[in-house]
Homo-oligomer: A and B are copies of this chain.
Amino acid sequence: MLTMPVVSESSPSPDARTRLARAAVEAFATRGFHGTTTRDISTAAGMSPAALYVHHRSKEELLFELSRVGHLRVLEMVRESVAGSDDPVEQLGILVEDFVRDHAVVHTGARVINYELAALSEEHLAEIVAIRHEIDLVVRDVIDRGVAAGVFHTPDAHMTALAVLSLGIDVARWFRDEGRWTPDQVAVHYRLLALRMAGSVA
């Protein structure tokens, strides 16, 4: 498929969509989905008040797209994290490092897609919940295999998997770019914390 470079504001060029996406993330993070108007997003993207409707059917469609792309990216990432090894200890360690670093680096976007789920339509929410379930399964599988191999010990593998992801998601809430720790420093320490949570004997 040939993609033409387009500069007109009203055309569905990648640039306009990207500008709208970035403006939406900032606005949703600052004022919440319900506190943001389509006009807020369009004008923050440097476009005319109704420009959002050229690219998205509604504000909810835009949130859904941000959420879908963001969740699929994380799913892809965690699948890659575990792909390089068969050792559950190594796999969980790399997965947590990647997941935590990512939530620290893109904390604003991560907050939006984790905290605004209730604003999605029932149909869209179901799609996002399905992707989240796939992410959960990657973590659960690693912990289950570690328990089976005797390198992890936990009275509830399912709740431990949830807690490991929960700890990583909450990084998006508290992490500050100007704070005392870098994303890498948090990622490395959280790798240790997660392995301990799983009862690693390594």
Q: Which A positions have Cβ atoms within 8 angstroms of B?
A: 30-36, 114-115, 118, 155-156, 159-160, 162-163, 166-167, 169-171, 173-174, 181, 186, 189-190, 192-193, 196-197, 199
Contacts and interface: CB of A to CB of B under 8 A. Distances in A.
B155 A189 contact: yes
Given A31-B34, A174-B162, A189-B156, A167 B167 contact: yes
A165 B82 CA distance: 28
27 contacts: A31-B32, A31-B35, A32-B32, A32-B34, A32-B35, A33-B35, A34-B36, A35-B35, A114-B173, A115-B115, A155-B192, A156-B189, A159-B181, A159-B186, A160-B193, A163-B189, A163-B193, A166-B167, A166-B170, A166-B171, A167-B167, A167-B170, A169-B170, A169-B173, A170-B170, A193-B197, A197-B197
Looking at A30, A115, A163, A173, the one whose CB has the most chain B CB atoms below 10 A away is A163
Contacts of A118: 30
A40 to B, nearest CB: 10
Contact of A33 (B32, B171, B192): B32
Contacts of A114: 173
Nearest to A29: B118
Contact of A197 (B166, B173, B186, B196): B196
Contacts of A196: 196-197, 199
Contacts of A162: 174
A167 B163 contact: yes
Contacts of A30: 118
